[in-house]
Structure 1
């Protein structure tokens, strides 16, 4: 009996030490993560310091164009300094026929991005409409 009590004692001691070491590791990981500088991925978008600065570019359609019975909604997104991309939804008879279509290029200004997206959408309508 003394021997099985000894095993239980060692087991309890192992569980207690494991909990202490695990807690210490978790605390070290948490403090290291809080002190580490934010690392940017090379392809991550660079956001403006004022998050409301480009809100008008992303909240609602920046342009709505009607072409050959289709309605084109253009949305422009700021991806970083002088990097803008516009995407468009194309509607026909109140239903979306293409969602999030866009030319594959980025542009230096939102106006150029919107113009490229509108031209791309017009060509899409000509081919598929």
Structure 2
């Protein structure tokens, strides 16, 4: 092995070995992309295959209902195949008094989810209005 008597020589040797080791590690990571990286698809929600139908459910309020001076805006969301949840915002005199309220269940159809959210919002108005 070559002799290295100065600090600069040892420093140069360390840099060369570091570059070689780093290059080897980068090559190994590129060769096996699943190693060391979490699967981003594992956290992805399961949604129905027709994405255009889901977009129609989540863009705007699907129902607007007036009840005892309150305005209830209902939003329906597809959570997966056969799983829908509706949320509602409750307004009074042009101001939001409850945002994102909903019954704690999911439903098989968007219509069932909407009906449950409207019923829940009416009960909320009766108790708090």
Q: TM-score, normalised to structure 1's length?
A: 0.82
Q: CA RMSD in A?
A: 2.4
Q: Does 1:40 align with 2:54?
A: no
Residues paired across the two proteins, number: 124
Single out whichever of 13-22 and 73-82 deviates more from structure 2: 13-22
2:11 is matched with: 11
Report the 3-state secondary structure (helix = DSSP H, G, I; strand = E; otherwise coil) of the residue aligned with 2:51: coil
Tell me the equivalent position of 2:123.
123
Structure 2 residue 99 is the aligned partner of structure 1 residue 91: no
- In the alignment, structure 1 residue 103 sits paired with structure 2 residue 103: yes
Query: Would you identify which runs of 4 or more consecutive aligned residues in structure 1 move more than 4 Å?
Result: 34-39
C-alpha deviations, 1:32-59, integer Å up to 9, x for none? 3369976525xx5202334323111000
Unaligned runs of 5+ in 2: none
Call closer, same or farther: CA 1:27–1:86 in 2, change over 3 Å: farther
The runs of 5 or more residues in structure 1 that have no matched partner are: none
Q: Secondary structure at the match of 2:97?
A: strand
Aligned-residue offset at 1:107: 0.4
Distance change in 2, residues 1:25/1:51 (3 Å): farther
Scaled by the length of structure 2, the TM-score of the pair is 0.82
Deviations 1:66-122 (A, max 9, x none): 001111000000000000000000011111111100100000000000000000000
The aligned runs of 1:58-77 (5 Å cut-off) are 58-77=58-77
